[in-house]
Amino acid sequence: MGRNKKQIYTSSKTDSKVIREWLDGHQMSEGDEKKLYWLIMQFYFDWIFKHSSKVDATYHNSIYRILQAIGMNPLTDKEKENSSEG
């Protein structure tokens, strides 16, 4: 019996644009960045072809982890909520 994954982040179209710009600038770089590039592309291909582009908690949380990996500092949904309250 599996548990539902808790969604910590809600991605936006802007996130995909940021990731795409990063990918365009790092396609043939060396070492770790090249590995990261291919891992990101593998995620998108799996999401499109194996999961029929289903947008769920796994997708949103994966986008959050990708943004962190490329040096962005995305706020979780809870952090966004807390910042808008104060």
- pLDDT tens for 29-49 read 567 778 888 889 999 999 999
Q: Which domain range does residue 61 map to?
A: 13-85
The span from the CA of 86 to the CA of 83, in Å, is 6
Check if the beta carbon of residue 34 is closer than 8 Å to that of residue 28. yes
What pLDDT does 26 receive? 73
Q: Is the residue at 43 inside a domain? A: yes
What pLDDT does 28 receive? 62
Q: Is the residue at 8 inside a domain? A: no
Q: Is the residue at 6 inside a domain? A: no
Q: Is the residue at 61 inside a domain? A: yes
Q: Is the residue at 49 inside a domain? A: yes
pLDDT level of residue 75 (50, 70, 90 thresholds): very high
- pLDDT tens digits for range 48-66: 999 899 999 999 999 999 9
Tell me which residue has tokens 């796994």.
58
Taking residue 22's Cβ as centre, other Cβ atoms within 10 Å add up to 19
Structural domain count of the chain: 1
Q: Is the residue at 7 inside a domain? A: no
Q: Is the residue at 63 inside a domain? A: yes
Q: Is the residue at 3 inside a domain? A: no
Name the amino acid, one letter, at 66: I
